[in-house]
Chains A and B, each alone.
Chain A
C-alpha cells in the first residue's frame, strides 16, 4: 500500500476527510518551504502538495502565477525541490505530492524523474497539463518506481473520461470543482456533489476536490461529499502576505482541518 493509500484508509476508518494543503516550493525560499511543510503537517494537513514553479502555468490564477515567479527568482529548480523532499523525509512521514507542469518533468527526463522523485520520498505526482492521453510513457515508469500518478477530472469531463481517469489514477482522483483556473470562486457546490457521485460509480479510489476552496466553510461543504479537500491559493496568499507566516499558516490549517472532521 502506498503512503497515500494508507493515509486515506486511516482517515476513512476515523470518518475523517483528507485535508490536502498546497504551497509553492521555493516561495520565498526552499528553506522556508521545508519549515512550512512541517508546520502544515503538524497543524493537521494530511497530504502536502508542493508546487513546482513553471514560467507559463496555464492552469493557475494570478496568486499561484506570482508565487511561481517568486520561486523562480529565488533560484528554485526541480532538482533542488527533490533535495528538499529528501531532507524532509528524515523528519516527517506526511505524504508529499508534487504538482508540476509537464515540461519540467519532460526536460528532467521522465525515467530519471520517476526514479529520483521516488528515491527522494515523493509519493505522488499531479501534472495539470498531462491528461491521461499523454501519460502513456510516464505511467508505467511511475508505477514501477512506486510513484502514484494522480489524474484530474473536470466538470466538463464526459462519462467515458470519468471512467478512464478512475481506472488510471492512483492515490486519489483530483476533481477540479469548476471550469476555470486556481484561485477562482467556487459557486456551484451542488454540481460538485453530483459529479463526485458520478465518479464514484467507477472506482473506490478516493476523490479529492480542489479549485475555489478558500475558507473553512467551503472546506466543510465539500468535505461532506468528497474524500478530501484541496486548498491552494488561500494558503499561497498567506505566504505572499509575509509577516508571521508560520503562525498564520498553522492557525488557518487548523481551522480547515476542523472542517474535515466528522460533524
Chain B
C-alpha cells in the first residue's frame, strides 16, 4: 500500500484543500513544519515524553472477560483510550499539534469541539504550554456537555458559543475557520479529527496512530496472533483511523467503523454518512457527507455530540470505496443499551461516542467463534455524559 495522501493531499478522489486563498499559505506552513518535525528525532522524543509522562501512555489493552462471557462468542479486548489524561484519545492529537504550534512560533490556538473532549484536550495542552486558547462550541452542544464547558473554563480557555445553523459541531468548525482566516498570522487552528484541508487529515491520523501501534504489540503479547476484527466509532474518524492504521496491511484483520444511527436511518435524524450520504465538499475536504440534491449540508442527529457531524474523514471514504474498512451504524437506543451493559458487566462507563462501537460489538461477538478476537476502541470515558444519560433516563440529579 502506498503512503497516503499524495502531495496534493488526496486519498484517491478524496481530500484536497478547498479553503479560501487566505488560508493556503498557513496550510503550507503547517505542512512544512510537520514534515520537518517528523524527521526531527528531538520532536519525536519530546512527543513521546509527553505521551508517556503526561498523557499516561501506553494505555492498556484490557481483556473484557465478563463481557466476553455474557455475549458468548469472540474474545473481546478493549483499547483503553478512556484512561488517557482528560479521558479520551483526543489528547494525543492536541499534544502533537501544540508542540507544532510552538515550533511555528504561534502564541494562540483555537479549536472547535462537539462533545467537548477535543476542546478539553486542547485547553489542557494550551495550559500546559502557556498558550492562549479559544474554543468554539455550538450552543446546543454546550447544553449537552455543560461539564466540559466548565472544565475548559477552569483550564483558562475562553469558550465561544456558536449560535448559527444547527448550533453543533458543524457550525463550530465553520466559526473556527472564520477566526483562523482572520487571525491566521498569529494563530494555529487545532482541528480535532481527521477532517478539513490537507495536511490535517494526515497529521491528525499520524498523531493518533499510536493507538494502533500499541494495540498491535499488546495483542501479539497477549494472544500471540492478530485480532480478527477491529471496531471503532466514527464521527470524523480519528480514533478509528488511529486504531486501524497499524493493521491496514494485515489483510486478515477486518475493520468496522460505526457511525451514529441516531433515531434510525428511516427517521432521517442520524449521522450515518456512508449509509445514505454522497460525495461532496465540506470544511475544506472532499468526502462522503449528508447533503440534499442542491448540495446544502443536512442537519444531523446523534445522542453523542462527538458523532453528530455531516461529513466523515476523507481517508475513511477512500477505504470505504476500496472496501478495506466496512462501515455500519448504531442507533441512539443501541448506544444507550451498550453504555448500560458495559457499565454493569465491566464497571466501565464508555463515552456515548465509544458506546456506538460497543453496541456493534454486542451484535458481532455472538456470531463469532470463541477463539476469534475483537479489539474495540474504548475511545473515551463516559463521565462527561452522566448528565446527558440521566436526562435520557428521565432522572433529575
State the A residues within 8 Å of B (CB): 54-59, 61, 65, 72, 77-79, 102-108, 128-131, 133-134, 151-158, 161, 165, 176, 179-181, 184
Q: Which residue of A54, A56, A161 contacts B21 across the interface (Cβ within 8 Å)?
A: A161
Q: Assess A158 versus B294: contact at CB under 8 Å? Given A61-B178, A180-B181, A181-B181.
A: no
Q: Which residues of A contact B283 (CB under 8 A)?
A: 56, 58
- Say yes or no: is B281 at the interface (Cβ < 8 Å to chain A): yes
Which interface residue of A58, A108, A152 has the most chain B CB atoms within 10 A?
Answer: A58
Task: Evaluate contact between A156 and B25: CB separation under 8 angstroms.
Answer: yes
Interface hit among B65-73, B182-190, B371-379: B182-190
CB of B24 closer than 8 Å to a CB of A: yes
A155 to B165, CA, bound (A): 29
B21–A102 CB distance below 8 A: no
Residues of A within 8 A of B294 (CB): 77-79, 104, 107
Question: 7 other contacts beyond A107-B280, A134-B17, with CB at 8 A cut-off?
Answer: A54-B295, A56-B174, A58-B177, A61-B178, A103-B295, A134-B18, A154-B22
User: What is the interface size of chain B, counting residues whose CB is below 8 A from a CB of the partner?
Assistant: 36
Task: Say yes or no: A157 contacts B21, CB within 8 Å.
Answer: yes
14 pairs, A vs B, C-beta closer than 8 Å: A58-B19, A58-B174, A59-B20, A59-B181, A77-B294, A106-B286, A107-B280, A107-B294, A130-B18, A131-B21, A131-B24, A134-B17, A156-B22, A165-B21
A179 B181 Cβ-Cβ under 8 A: yes
Contact between chains at B295 and A154 (CB < 8 Å):
no
Chain A residues in 8 Å Cβ range of B326: none
Q: Which of A58, A78, A103, A152 contacts B291 (CB 8 A)?
A: A103
Minimum C-beta distance from B168 to chain A (A): 12
Q: Which residues of B contact A157 (CB under 8 A)?
A: 21-22, 24-25
What does the 1/0 interface line of B285-297 toward A look like (CB < 8 Å)?
0100001011111
Chain B minimum-CB-distance residue to A68: B296
Tell which of A72, A108, A131, A180 touches B182, judged by Cβ atoms closer than 8 Å: A180
| Inter-subunit contact B281/A129 (CB<8 Å) | yes
Nearest CB in chain A: distance from B264 CB, A? 23
Q: Is the CB of B295 within 8 A of A152?
A: no
A113 CB, min distance to chain B CBs, angstroms? 11
Min CB distance B180 to A, Å, is 10
B234 proximal to A (CB < 8 A): no
Pairwise interchain contact B295-A58, C-beta atoms closer than 8 A? no
Give which listed residue, B25, B164, B280, contacts A103 with CB less than 8 A: B280
User: What is the interface of chain B, defined by CB distance below 8 A to chain A?
Assistant: 8, 16-26, 164-165, 170-171, 174, 177-178, 181-185, 280-284, 286, 291, 293-297
> Once bound together, how far apart are the Cα atoms of A161 and B22, in whole Å?
11
Note all chain B residues with C-beta closer than 8 A to A72: 296
Residues of B within 8 A of A152 (CB): 20-21
Which residues from A are CB-within-8-Å of B20? 58-59, 128-129, 131, 152, 154, 176
Q: What residue in chain B is nearest A78 (Cβ atoms)?
A: B294
Residue from A56, A130, A161 in contact with B282 in the complex, judged by beta carbons closer than 8 Å = A56
Distance from A177 Cβ to chain B, minimum over Cβ atoms (Å): 11
Nearest CB of B to A30, in Å: 14
Top-4 shortest CB links A-B: A107-B295, A154-B22, A180-B182, A55-B296
Partner of B18, one of A54, A78, A102: A102
- A59–B19 alpha-carbon span in the complex (Å): 9
A-B contact count (CB 8 A): 114
Residues from chain B with a CB closer than 8 A to the CB of A161 are 21, 24-25
Chain B residues lying within 8 Å of A55, measured Cβ to Cβ, are 165, 296-297
Q: In the complex, A65 Cα to B297 Cα: how many Å?
A: 14
Query: In the complex, what residues of B have CB within 8 A of residue A108's CB?
Result: 295
Task: Write out the residue numbers on chain A whose beta carbons fall within 8 Å of the beta carbon of B293.
Answer: 107
B-chain residues with CB within 8 Å of residue A155 when the two chains form the complex? 22
- The distance in angstroms between the C-alpha atoms of A78 and B172, with both chains bound, is 26
Chain B neighbourhood of A130, CB < 8 A: 18
Q: How far is the CB of B155 from chain A (nearest CB, A)?
A: 27
Cα–Cα, bound, A128→B181 (Å):
12
Cα-based distance from A77 to B21 in the complex (angstroms): 26
Q: Are B178 and A58 in contact (CB under 8 A)?
A: yes
Determine the chain A residues whose CB is within 8 A of the CB of B23 once the complex forms: 156
Give the CA-CA distance A54 to B296 in the complex, in Å: 6
Taken together as a complex, chains A and B put the C-alpha atoms of A49 and B91 apart, in Å, by 44
Query: Are B182 and A179 in contact, CB atoms less than 8 angstroms apart?
Result: yes
A72 to B298, CA, bound (A): 12
**CA A78 – CA B184 in complex, angstroms?**
32
Residues of B within 8 A of A56 (CB): 165, 170-171, 174, 282-283, 297
A104–B282 Cα gap in the complex (Å)? 11
State how many angstroms separate the Cβ of B182 from the closest Cβ of chain A: 4
Q: In whole Å, how far is B32's beta carbon from the nearest beta carbon of chain A?
A: 12
Residues of B within 8 A of A181 (CB): 178, 181-182
Question: Closest A-chain residue to B175, C-beta based?
Answer: A58
Complex Cα–Cα for A56 and B297 (A): 7
The answer to whether B24 and A179 touch across the interface, beta carbons within 8 angstroms, is: no
Q: How far is the CB of A25 from chain B (nearest CB, A)?
A: 13
Residues of A within 8 A of B165 (CB): 55-56
User: Which of A57, A106, A128, A133 touches B280 (beta carbons < 8 Å)?
Assistant: A106
Indicate if the CB atoms of B182 and A133 lie closer than 8 Å: no
How near does chain B come to A147, taking the closest CB pair, in angstroms? Answer: 19
Chain A residues in 8 Å Cβ range of B280: 103, 106-107
Assess whether A65 is in contact with B164, with CB atoms less than 8 Å apart.
yes
CB distance from B10 to the nearest CB of A (A): 10
**Given known contacts A128-B20, A179-B183, A181-B182, A106 and B281 CB-to-CB distance under 8 angstroms:** yes
